[in-house]
Every structure is written in C-alpha cells, then in structure tokens.
Structure 1
C-alpha cells in the first residue's frame, strides 16, 4: 500500500500528518533560537585587542558587557519565550490526530513571527530606550502568543484532538496565551508613554498564572 493509501486508511488525508509539520516547526524554532545569540553585539577589535595590560583589557570587556545589559535581558526573555512556545507546540502535536487546513494556516503567522523575533531582539539590544524598538519587540512577542492561541482554538474547533485528550484544558491554555499576548501588546503601547517598560515583561509569568486560574473557572467542562 502506498504512503497516501496508508494515511487515508488511518483516517488522515495526505498533507494532514502531524509528524512532518512537527519536524519542520522544530527546525524553524532551533534556527531562530540560535540566531538570537548571533544577534548579540561583539565588542570592537580595538577594545579587546591592543598592547594594553591584560587586566585593562579584561576591564574594558567587562564594561562593554555590563553596559550592554539590555541585549542580554532581551536575549534571555526571547529565548525563554521561544523555548516555552516550542515546548507547548511539541506537546500539542502529540495530542492531535491530524493537521487540518485551518491548523496549517495558523502555522503561517506563528512561524513568521518566530523567524522575526531574533531581528526584533537585536533591535532592542541596540537601543532599549528607543520606543519603536521596544514596541516592535513587544509586538512580535504578542503576535507569537496570539498565533499560538489561535492554533490551539483551531485544533479544538476542528476536532483534531486524539480520543481522550482534554479539550477543556486546551481551551484554557488558548485563553491564557491570548491574555498574556494582550499584556505584551499593552506594554508595546505603554513604551510610548513611559520608560522602563522592559521590566514589566518580568510580570508575564504572573499574568499568565492569574489568567489561567481565572479562565479555568469560566471555561465549562
């Protein structure tokens, strides 16, 4: 029997198998997470390569790294967000029987913002006080979370979950991701009004925890 015939006999049409989609998504996330480190600025050669004493060179490099704290903060936040979304996506695909057309369409914005995140991270690392750079970074993260939420809702709505999978839990997860995404959008707007918005991002996990508990009480069983 051909591969297509085997897929149809299992109730999955050609192009709807989740294994190939998962492998492709894994590759995109891996590349994006690697590019985050590539975007970290390197010190100029004259700063670390000269005839100055060794301790002076070390002090110069330390000052460069310490003065570039925003780059490291953006790198860590972006890496953890990509890791969390990838891990969640990995678990989600283990709970589905197929990838419907609507689910496949939601992967377009999801992967688009994944590959854009390293660029947005590099921008905010260059100038954390530039409101446009902060807005672009926060907007990209918000789009990533909202795309993931839309993906989960599409999976539940299209009945693509495996028998016995907890559809209610997935709806709660989708709602939580949407709330956190709106939180990031709000910080994108606030950056035009105030400084220090980047520190609000540290509240993201708290917002997610509160949202999960609240939505868990609302979503019917």
Structure 2
C-alpha cells in the first residue's frame, strides 16, 4: 500500500513536533509581555498589574498546562512508534495545527469578554487536538507493524481520548450556559481517568478477541 511505501524517520518527526510545541508554548506569553510594556508606560505598580491582568495570567497558566499535557501524551503515544507513514504524518500535522492555534483563543480568553463563540473557539480547539490524537491511535491500531506498543495499550489510550472528547464537549456546553465562570467546567477533565477505564472495559467486552492480540512486526 502507498502509505506503507512512503515512510519518514521518527527522529526528525519527533524533533519537529517538539519544536512546534515549544514555539506554541512560547507564543502564549507574548500577550503578557505586551501588557507589561503597556503597564509600565501607564505607571502601574506590580500589584495593580497582577490584579488588572488576572484573566490573562489565568488563561496563560491554563493553556500552558494543557499544551504541556498534550505534549506528554504525544510523547508517550509515539515513544514506541518505529515508522511514520504519510497518513500518520498528516494526522500529526493536523494535531500540530491545533496546538499552534491555541494561543489565539487563549489571548481572547484573557483579554476579551466571554461570549459563546469564544468558548467554542477555545474548548473546540482542545476537542480538535483530542480528535486528531484519537485518529492517530485508530490508524496505529489498523497498522500495528508501525509500533511496538501492544494493541491493548493503544486501545486504552483511545478510550482516554474518547473520554476527554466527551467531557470537553460537556464542559463547552456548560461554559456557554454559565458565561465567564463556565471555563471552570474544564475541571471535568479530571474525570477522564475513571471514564476512560469504563470505556476501555466496554470496548474489551465488545471486541475481546482483539484486546491482547500482539502487533505484527514487518
């Protein structure tokens, strides 16, 4: 098949992903740097700055932690991937696009009044990141020769992705309904572990014959 003929080195792929994530995390701080300059020009003190820009500081911290969490999950997912095909590469390009875009709704969250579209842009970006991650796991399940990771472990990760997508969707609806404080609904993501375990057990019951099937090595 064509996607198995066109392969890419995993070392360069991982280095590229790391660079993109590092740039995205750095971009998160730029609005705050501009705010510091504006505060200095306006003669604001440190306490006044922290109080006036509390929203920016919180949005920076939230998105920084989320991107770091996404990167750690990506690192675990591709730690034992031995080959990168063109479809898998494009799935990761889509994943990186969501990571690079996140600083934009983050700046909106920190500097603008909350409205439904802002919520959709911010939490929708998180959902898009999780969907692309899930898509890559499904691809690896269908092409076990590309990784040393067992199908059961990949399936467990996919269950976690599905749980995160569902909880993020619920958080989006709550945030739209509750306004500014609605972003606290993202705390629902702490339930990802229990929900993913439940989904994993259900998946195992539905397809028990595939649960512990070892990957084929090409």
Is this a same-fold pair by TM over 0.5?
yes
Match of 2:169 among 159, 163, 185: 185
- In structure 2, what is the equivalent of residue 8 of structure 1? none
Aligned residues: 200
Relative to its length, the structure with more helix (as a share) is 2
* CA distance in 1: counterparts of 2:94 and 2:104, whole angstroms: 16
Runs of 4+ in structure 1 over 6 Å off: none
Is the radius of gyration larger for structure 1 or structure 2? 1
Q: How does 1:20-99 map to 2 (within 5 A)?
A: 20-40=12-32, 41-43=34-36, 45=38, 47-49=39-41, 57-58=44-45, 61-99=46-84
Does the CA-based 8 Å contact 1:74-1:125 persist in structure 2? yes
Deviation string, structure 1 residues 131-187 (Cα, Å, up to 9, x no partner): 322221111111111111111121121124444x22212111112112212322333
Superposed displacement of residue 113, structure 1: 0.7
* CA distance in 1: counterparts of 2:22 and 2:130, whole angstroms: 18
- In structure 1, what is the equivalent of residue 86 of structure 2? 101
Does the CA-based 8 Å contact 2:168-2:188 persist in structure 1? no
Q: Normalising to structure 1: TM-score of the pair?
A: 0.80
Please, what is the CA RMSD of the aligned residues?
2.2
Superposed displacement of residue 84, structure 1: 1.4
Aligned pair in 2 of structure 1 residues 31, 201: CA closer, same or farther (>3 Å)?
Answer: same
Structure 1 residue matching 2:136: 3-state secondary structure? helix
Ranges in structure 1 where 5+ consecutive residues have no aligned partner: 1-11
Aligned pair in 2 of structure 1 residues 194, 218: CA closer, same or farther (>3 Å)?
Answer: same
* CA distance in 1: counterparts of 2:73 and 2:177, whole angstroms: 33
Superposed displacement of residue 74, structure 1: 1.7
Match of 2:157 among 169, 173, 181: 173
Ranges in structure 2 where 5+ consecutive residues have no aligned partner: 205-210, 212-218
Structure 1 residue matching 2:8: 3-state secondary structure? coil
Superposed displacement of residue 128, structure 1: 4.8
